[in-house]
Structure 1
């Protein structure tokens, strides 16, 4: 059995939460928490780490827009905002806080499930791209450190670039350290 996506619902309207929870449960999503206000929701999101947050834009305390911004900035989960107010200004604010989607109220099942599926797929894609960017950045940083260490070995020991690289590589294998760690040690020793 596939894992169910875990959802937190945030809406001061208990009847609305019950209706949305029923639609989500029917579609095999797992509602792991419900909150009536932004502060409670934020604590619950941090504690329970849901896959998705559905939040009313107008919440007491921390409003849904601010909640969406915080959750997005901290990379906690995608947030779909809901509101009975719809228009250019609302959509501009939804985009500004980087919400994963918007549902006009009253929420119907087709719209809910469509927006949820798209938001989850988009968020997974964005997280994957962010991981790839971090990996590429790490590889580039490692390459810069190794290049600097090679330059030190070439100037201090009169080695060719290939010989300097091979020496770093050999030390890496012999000491079971990454090439970056060996290169950083060479740079550190040179600066002492």
Structure 2
């Protein structure tokens, strides 16, 4: 069990109170509450929770904006709660990109598993996105270094190994990254052309 920080967004105060009681009993911290999506955005930005639990009924007037802000700004995962008879429930959850969907009345054990899985899966997604970003940056750097080496080989008439060694020496001497050296070589070459 984690001591996750959670924000509740639900227009029904008694429903928020019930969820808050269960979450507190399970060891979670409810760090904020809101009655609508726009209020939820303000609370989420102010409190920076690990998870947001929102009633499907608020996903309309400002609620989809809440879901969009959570997703685009990578603020927290979303768990939706809804009445089982609500129209288009699965479509609403899919559009909101909810991590989980709970039906009322919410069962304490189901709530626990939904919260834990949402947080764990969200952390893995963020970690994977960071790895992808890092790999893209490495690939881009490699492409720039290769292009810069080609420019040095062509303009100075040196071998690939010598071009790389010169770039590496400049990188160490100037205390800047190989990417910055490569970008400078490419820029200088483009200015001459």
TM-score normalized by structure 2? 0.92
Give yes or no for contact 1:86–1:104 (8 Å, CA) kept in 2: no
Give CA-to-partner distance per residue, 1:21-46, whole Å, 9 cap, x none: 11111121111101111111111112
Alpha-carbon offset, residue 68 of structure 1: 1.9
Aligned-partner Cα distance in 2 for 1:114–1:63 = 27
How far apart in 2 are the matches of 1:88 and 1:115? 22
Match of 1:99 in 2: 98
Q: What SS does structure 1 have at the residue aligned with 2:142?
A: helix
Residue aligning to 2:29: 30
- Contact kept? 1:65, 1:81, Cα under 8 Å: no
**2:186 is matched with which residue?**
187
Whole-angstrom distance in 2 between the partners of 1:79 and 1:146: 41
| In the alignment, structure 1 residue 130 sits paired with structure 2 residue 157 | no
Normalised TM-score (structure 1): 0.93
Q: Is the CA contact 2:12–2:35 (under 8 Å) kept in the aligned structure 1?
A: yes
Shift in Å, 1:19: 1.3
Correspondences of 1:1-192 after superposition (within 5 Å): 4-59=3-58, 62-86=61-85, 89-192=88-191
Structure 2: distance between partners of 1:41 and 1:61: 13
Distance 1:4 1:99, change over 3 A: same
Q: Give the SS at the match of 1:58.
A: helix
Q: Could you tell me whether the CA contact under 8 Å between 1:49 and 1:76 is conserved in 2?
A: yes
- The question of whether the paired residues in 2 share the 8 Å contact of 1:38 and 1:63 is answered with yes
Q: How many residues align?
A: 191
Q: CA deviation at 1:83?
A: 0.6
Residues 21/77 of structure 1: CA separation in 2 closer, same or farther (3 Å cut): same
* Runs of at least 5 residues in structure 2 that lack an aligned partner in the other structure: none
Distance apart, 1:3 and its partner CA: 7.1
Shift of 1:190: 1.2
**Deviation of the 1:84 alpha carbon:** 0.6
Deviation at residue 63 of structure 1 after TM alignment: 4.6
Is the CA contact 2:9–2:52 (under 8 Å) kept in the aligned structure 1?
yes
Q: Distance in 2 between matches of 1:178 and 1:69?
A: 36
What residue ranges of structure 1 are gaps of 5+ in the alignment? none
